[in-house]
Chains A and B, each alone.
Chain A
Amino acid sequence: MRLKLISCEVLYREMCACVARSPHQIDIEFLPKGLHDLGGARMRGRLQEVVDSTDPSVHETILMGYALCGNGLAGLTARTVPIVLPRAHDCIALLMGSRHKYQQYFDENPGVFFRSTGWLERGKGLIPLSRRQTGVDTKLEELIEKYGEENGRYLFEELNNYQSHYRQMTYIRTGLEADGSFEDRAREEATQRGWTYASMDGDMTLFRRFINGDWGEADFLTVPPAHRVVVRYDDSIIGVEPA
């Protein structure tokens, strides 16, 4: 089969590693991680454009290297080429190899921030638009310049306050790392923020199955032509309906 993979850059290394060993021929288009910060509707709009640019005479299936991603995939429509995507809330579930394992970890470890290779090396300085909208992650100096000394400091405090609720940084090791430098960076970031540091072994199974065409219904959703992705508020996470 010749497939088109449209993926978030945060999964760059995982996708590339699996594509290299896939029985299929796969063309990859990575998109900026910053799309997530645009909000669900705009993110979907951009993803739909890329989906719609697929040539049905070349690719027989589109793989979306995403999860539900804050409803960014909700409403995505397959025109003439079917779409396959994993059933998951976000990429952390993919990196852990199971949405159930993720849910369990999430429930047992409140206040955890996750890191992986992609979360450390991707998505910096690509789409500043998001900052304009939410202000999150904007530097203190920039806020002061735009809103004045007093208001700037207040905003910096308010917009970064959420970080004070986090207590732990967990690095998810996929085994693709060339050395310990990613873990070192994650540990250093944890120290800087005053969080505890933990690491865990990820699981590449979902990536491999996704790229190799093992799309069992329990873990993947296939969207037939003229259908769209809908959110299901249960364990299946996503489903389809006629577009």
Chain B
Amino acid sequence: MPELQGLYDAVVNGDQKAAVRLTKEGLDAGVEPMELLSSYMIPAMDEVGRRFECEDYFVPELLLAARAMKGAMELIRPLLTASGAQPAGRVAIGTVKGDLHDIGKNLVASMLEGGGFDVLDLGADVAPEKFVDAVENKKVDLICLSALLTVTMPSMRTTIEALERAGVRDKVKVIVGGAPVTEQFAKDIRADGYGENANSAVALARKLVMAARAA
């Protein structure tokens, strides 16, 4: 039996090579993929999030942990799919029209993937119609909108309005985030939630998707 605590440490320390190697060893030794995910990897990401909240970790550490998680997930995801396990949810994510900044968006995308979501990354400077298309044709449960500039925050509103006009707003949850975005703004534009950082975005995504499925 491999030392699986090492997998937890590898994710927390952002060591992708070790994370991939230990995941492989675990799987080879017959550990259930779900066990690796829920007992080691997700707790590790929770710890990374905790360290970020108390400012032990900053963006670079988050990026490295998400990358380690992603590497391990590439081995685990096909097995989960084959065993009929549902992803945590399908997400379309993008930086809104006019805004080209994507570090935050990429980070949230990686963290969501790490959290077991099926992520459709639409990139930066994404037109509202592309989000509408993701709901209509890609069956996403959740849309994540990112903006770094206050100048481009109105694009979040126009994106939500486009979903309303297309008659698909009630088919999807929408969460917003990015440095200048606030809880109040999220309410103003009728978003379903606001993620203050990548860590809280993942928790919020889980909560909203679970609630929608239960409804």
Contacts and interface: CB of A to CB of B under 8 A. Distances in A.
B106 interface: yes
A132 B102 contact: no
B100 A111 contact: yes
B101 interface: yes
A56 interface: no
Contacts of B102: 161-162, 165
B150 interface: yes
Interface string B32-59: 0000000000000000000000000011
Q: Is the interface of A mostly helix, strand, loop or mixed?
A: helix
Interface in A132-150: 132-136, 143, 146-147, 150
Contacts of A90: 149-151
Which one of B14, B151, B179 has the greatest number of beta carbons of chain A within 10 Å?
B151
Interface stretch (B82-90, B114-122, B165-173, B180-188): B180-188
Contact of B64 (A39, A68, A155): A155
Which one of A89, A103, A133, A162 has the greatest number of beta carbons of chain B within 10 Å?
A162
Interface residues of B, number: 31
Contact of B59 (A40, A107, A133, A231): A133
A133 B157 CA distance: 29
B63 A233 contact: no
B60 interface: yes
A209 B151 CA distance: 23
Given A106-B98, A162-B102, A151 B64 contact: yes
Interface of A: 39-40, 68, 70-71, 89-90, 102-103, 106-107, 110-111, 132-136, 143, 146-147, 150-151, 154-155, 158-159, 161-162, 165-166, 231, 233, 237
Interface of B: 14, 16-17, 58-60, 63-64, 67, 98, 100-103, 106, 124-125, 148-151, 153-154, 157, 179-180, 182, 184-185, 188-189
